[in-house]
């Protein structure tokens, strides 16, 4: 399409904009289409060159457009360029409870195998002034239809739930099996299971009937009983004996009337799939694959259409004329033209996008199934452009002892479309000439018995017909859904190509049915498909339908999980005894609950547990957002409380329920404590070393906004204000964003950049040593930091440090202990000179006045003063505190009794 803004300008401005167009980028759906269009528009004079993708070429040619000569640059994509997936971390199956997927965000991204195509488009558009889209003229091609994002979420949620649970319950059978759910594939499976169960439940019933025959010169006429059959043997026997008392037939009626066999309707996708399956024995998936190849080669029209009405503007005579050269059906095509031209029947369906499937060009060079399908499409087209077959049908009714019997005969007068369409059968059935009122002696009068028979298993054509009837999927997706239930081993095929449900398919359907949810029934999906059409027609609101559908599937999912044992029991009938799974052995992770919104990206922040113990608050936007709050090691447990802070913003900010290690908190504070980490709780803020800082990425002139937002320090060591300003960060006063520092080793502490003079410092205050893992295993070659003297247990992976120092990350400063409240077992003091200053009344854990020393070692902290225990090093209690750290008045002495040491 052309850029739109120029349309609002004056005519002169519009002409000027057109004159500036020298190069036009054209993009088709596939390379074959791009090449074909370029050949037609350039009269085969286009120039080919390579793009970044070896499968998608670039064709250039000159063309007259907008009243001037322009260069056309024709290239292509390969179907959909973008795909949909959950945002991290929801993509990983074990990252969350499947229930969380209903509310997880979806993002569009370019798959890795299409990145080269994307690069080609990005490069070529830079040199062009206009863009022409050559995709299919339908909802999919124009991408204006309603994308069923949340229904995909429902499918993903059920798929993960089923797969994660059933792999554990039946490990020997389903260890590597993907047990998918789809709102279309499951009802498709349901049709197969329903038919199979109907056959299983069928009980044959004996019936009885009277049969009359009359032989003549040309054969034998069978007269069928007008009652058809009776299920009572005695009643039938009585009537039969009455007939046998005087077995003479009287002709009571003879009716002869014209009979027509209708020519087929124009061909849509569903009929193509059904007829190819029935008549050619080619399955739906292969049929559509071949049809699309024929389309890209220019031999047939677009094969994905819901239309069975030829548009009036389509020149059917020219299409018929192309086929007159064929030795097999050429004469028939010529006869259509000679007898008044094409007169196709009209159906009732139109998608307003594509005409019915028809041949667009004659060819005789195809082989195999391509040739067979092309021939079928041509013959079907010629048949529907022809005339109905004509015949004369005669119905004769006779009476024997007041019991009526009927025979029918047929004389074909004109075969018409049947001459070119061998896929339909209609044959003569000769009967002699009977006169009304005449009497004759039947050759036989018999009482015969039989049994009712069960329905047959579904063929692919039967299944497609059911899917269309109940609104499951579209003409473009029927084959895909059928193929899915086959590849998932939910169904198999018998020798005569009928669908038979597998054990897994049977168990899944019966399991969900036993819960009270008929997930295999078409109602849920059919309702959605109907709503989608109403959205397209402007009769329903997209948002309302979206919310309604999500809530419906979400509620079903929640209750299905609660009754999951019924699924286990149903599958156990087919897969053997279910394995016992201990209650504590979770089949899938618990649903994460939001504590508050992330101040960086507004995603939910949830509590998580580290593998080696300990807790942290993590942003659900990870890894795009690395905001995190790490809690100190003396936090033994933390859970979300249902109470919500009235002060902290943005609402809601839930309070947390902490359980602390004995001796790690002030005596006035209980070991089990409920508080808010939003910044309003002074005691908890001091205990966890929460500090108010401005957002470092804020410009210096910005005005602080009300409300508290969690924010972390961006360097391991405090840098000068001049250094921070040089990096473009703000130098505002404290009081806005909340920072958390802890002695706990962080997951993602900020790295020491090579150019900022900062070094990673361990808990001893010394510069940490950078090492590389040599041991065989998944971490081989990975770098990490550890204490250079092994005096403390400091450890940090080097690659878990963020690269962007100006981003707002909720991370602790590595190795720093809470100011004033110190945890027992602190590290060694750093090398430095001592001072007689006792630290302003601060005492260490030994109850001794601290001494103040100065860092002498080269590095960013050189010259910085700190407080430490006055005793010799081998006798020190481990107390450490930076002299320039703020300590809440009155807490220093308390901290000396209860805390520990650490350094940054």
Q: Which are the catalytic amino acids? A: 302
**Residue 71 C-beta-side C-alpha neighbours within 13 Å:** 12
Round to whole Å and give the CA distance between 732 and 713.
14
Structure tokens at 100: 């969380």
Structure tokens at 212: 């009359």
Look-up of token digits 């190795």: 815
**Residues 309, 356 contacting (CB under 8 angstroms):** yes
Q: CA 246 from chain center: how many Å?
A: 74
Closest to 3 (Cα-Cα) out of 157, 177, 128: 128
Enumerate long-range contacts of 889-892, CB under 8 Å, 24 or more apart: 891/686, 891/820, 891/821, 892/820, 892/840, 892/841, 892/842, 892/843
Burial, 156: exposed, middle or buried (Cβ in 10 Å; 0-12, 13-18, 19+)? buried
Angstrom distances, CA of residue 405 to CA of 26, 225, 228, 249, 437: 70, 5, 9, 9, 15
Quick one: how many helices (H) and strands (E) in the chain? 22, 33
First to last CA, the chain: 59
Sheet holding 769-772, edge to edge: 769-772, 783-786, 795-797
Burial, 344: exposed, middle or buried (Cβ in 10 Å; 0-12, 13-18, 19+)? buried
DSSP 45-81: --EEE--SSTTS-EEEEEEEETTEEEEEEEEE--S-S
**Residues 515, 563 contacting (CB under 8 angstroms):** yes
Strand pairing class (58-65; 47-49) = antiparallel
Name 249's bridge partners: 440
**Residue 765 C-beta-side C-alpha neighbours within 13 Å:** 28
What is the phi-psi region of residue 240: left when phi exceeds 0, alpha when psi lies from -120 to 50, beta otherwise? alpha
Structure tokens at 828: 């060694």
Three-state DSSP at 235 gives helix
- Compute and round to an integer the Cα radius of gyration of the chain: 40
Structure tokens at 292: 């699309």
Round to whole Å and give the CA distance between 153 and 440.
73
Sheet holding 206-216, edge to edge: 439-440, 249-261, 389-400, 403-414, 219-225, 206-216, 444-451
Round to whole Å and give the CA distance between 28 and 36.
10
Beta strands in 441-553 (DSSP E): 444-451, 491-493, 499-501
Q: CA 486 from chain center: how many Å?
A: 19
Those residues whose C-beta lies under 8 Å from the C-beta of residue 548, and which sit 6 or more positions away, are none
Closest to 481 (Cα-Cα) out of 513, 514, 522, 523: 522
How long a stretch of residues is the chain?
904
Sheet holding 58-65, edge to edge: 47-49, 58-65, 68-76, 23-28, 130-134
User: Is the bond into 678 cis (omega within 30 degrees of 0)?
Assistant: no
Round to whole Å and give the CA distance between 400 and 255.
19
Name 257's bridge partners: 393
């Amino acid at each position: 399409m052309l850029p739109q803004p120029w349309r609002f300008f004056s005519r002169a401005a519009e002409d000027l904009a057109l004159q500036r167009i020298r190069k036009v980028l054209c993009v088709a759906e596939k390379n074959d289409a791009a090449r074909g269009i370029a050949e037609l528009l350039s009269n085969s004079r286009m120039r080919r060159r390579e793009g970044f993708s070896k499968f998608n070429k670039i064709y250039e040619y000159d063309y007259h457009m907008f009243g001037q000569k322009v260069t056309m640059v024709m290239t292509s994509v390969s179907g959909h360029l973008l795909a949909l997936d959950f945002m991290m971390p929801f993509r990983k199956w074990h990252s969350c409870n499947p229930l969380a997927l209903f509310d997880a965000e979806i993002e569009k991204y370019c798959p890795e195998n299409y990145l080269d195509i994307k690069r080609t488009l990005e490069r070529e558009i830079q040199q062009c002034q206009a863009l022409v889209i050559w995709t299919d003229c339908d909802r999919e091609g124009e991408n204006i239809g309603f994308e069923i994002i949340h229904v995909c979420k429902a499918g993903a949620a059920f798929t993960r739930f089923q797969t994660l649970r059933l792999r554990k319950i039946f490990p020997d059978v389903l260890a590597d099996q993907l047990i998918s759910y789809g709102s279309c594939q499951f009802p498709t499976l349901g049709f197969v299971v329903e038919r199979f169960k109907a056959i299983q439940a069928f009980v044959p019933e004996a019936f009885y009937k009277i049969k009359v025959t009359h032989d003549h010169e040309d054969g034998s006429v069978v007269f069928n009983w007008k009652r058809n059959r009776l299920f009572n043997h005695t009643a039938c026997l009585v009537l039969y004996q009455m007939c046998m008392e005087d077995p003479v037939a009287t002709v009571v009626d003879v009716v002869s009337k014209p009979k027509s066999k209708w020519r087929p309707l124009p061909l849509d996708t569903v009929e193509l799939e059904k007829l190819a399956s029935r008549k050619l024995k080619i399955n739906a998936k292969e049929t559509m694959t071949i049809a699309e190849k024929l389309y890209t080669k220019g031999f047939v029209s677009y094969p994905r259409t819901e239309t069975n009405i030829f548009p009036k503007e389509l020149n059917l005579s020219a299409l018929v004329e192309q086929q007159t050269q064929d030795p097999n059906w050429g004469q028939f095509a010529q006869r259509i033209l000679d007898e008044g031209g094409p007169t196709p029947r009209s159906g009732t369906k139109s998608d307003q996008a594509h005409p019915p499937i028809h041949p667009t060009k004659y060819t005789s060079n195809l082989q195999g199934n391509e040739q067979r399908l092309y021939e079928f499409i041509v013959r079907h087209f010629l048949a529907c452009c022809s005339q109905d077959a004509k015949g004369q049908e005669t119905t004769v009714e006779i009476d024997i002892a007041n019991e009526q019997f009927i025979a029918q005969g047929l004389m074909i007068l004109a075969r018409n479309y049947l001459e070119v369409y061998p896929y339909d059968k209609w044959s003569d059935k000769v009967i002699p000439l009977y006169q009304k009122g005449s009497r004759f002696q039947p050759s036989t009068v018999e009482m015969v018995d039989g049994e009712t028979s069960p329905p047959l298993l579904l063929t692919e054509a039967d299944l497609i017909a059911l899917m269309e009837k109940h609104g499951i999927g579209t003409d473009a997706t029927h084959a895909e859904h059928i193929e899915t239930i086959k590849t998932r081993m939910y169904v198999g095929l018998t020798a005569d190509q009928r669908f038979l449900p597998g054990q897994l398919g049977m168990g899944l359907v019966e399991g969900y049915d036993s819960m009270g949810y008929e997930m295999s029934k078409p109602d849920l999906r059919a309702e959605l498909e109907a709503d989608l059409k109403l959205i397209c027609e402007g009769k329903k609101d997209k948002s309302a339908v979206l919310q309604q559908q999500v809530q419906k599937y979400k509620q079903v999912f929640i209750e299905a999980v609660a009754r999951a044992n019924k699924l286990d029991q149903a599958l156990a009938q087919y897969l053997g005894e279910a394995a016992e799974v201990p209650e504590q052995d979770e089949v899938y992770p618990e649903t994460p609950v939001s504590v508050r919104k992330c101040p960086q990206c507004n995603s939910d922040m949830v509590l998580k547990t580290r593998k080696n113990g300990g807790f942290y608050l993590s942003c659900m936007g990870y890894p795009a957002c690395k905001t995190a709050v790490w809690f100190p090691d003396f936090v033994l447990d933390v859970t979300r409380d249902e109470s919500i802070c009235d002060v902290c913003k943005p609402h809601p900010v839930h309070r947390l329920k902490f359980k602390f290690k004995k001796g790690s908190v002030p005596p006035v504070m209980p070991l089990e404590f409920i508080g808010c980490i939003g910044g309003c709780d002074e005691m908890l803020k001091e205990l966890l070393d929460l500090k108010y800082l401005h957002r470092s990425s804020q410009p210096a002139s910005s005005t602080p906004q009300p409300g508290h937002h969690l924010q972390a320090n961006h360097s391991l060591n405090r840098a000068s204000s001049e250094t921070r300003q040089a990096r473009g960060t703000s130098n505002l006063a404290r009081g806005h964003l909340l920072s958390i520092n802890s002695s706990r080793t962080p997951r993602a502490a900020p790295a020491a950049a090579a150019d900022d003079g900062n070094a990673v410092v361990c808990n001893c205050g010394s510069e940490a040593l950078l090492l590389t893992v040599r041991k065989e295993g998944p971490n081989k070659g990975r770098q990490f930091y550890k204490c250079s003297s092994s005096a403390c247990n400091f450890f940090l992976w080097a690659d878990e440090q963020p690269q962007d120092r100006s981003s707002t990350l909720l991370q602790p400063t590595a190795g720093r202990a809470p100011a004033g409240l110190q945890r027992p077992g602190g590290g060694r003091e750093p090398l430095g000179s001592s001072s007689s200053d006792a630290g302003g009344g601060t005492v260490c854990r030994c109850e001794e006045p601290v001494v103040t020393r100065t860092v002498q070692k080269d590095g960013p902290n050189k010259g910085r003063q700190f407080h430490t225990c006055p005793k010799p090093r081998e006798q020190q209690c481990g107390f450490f505190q930076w002299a320039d750290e703020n300590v809440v008045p009155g807490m220093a002495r308390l901290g000396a009794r209860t805390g520990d040491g650490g350094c940054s």
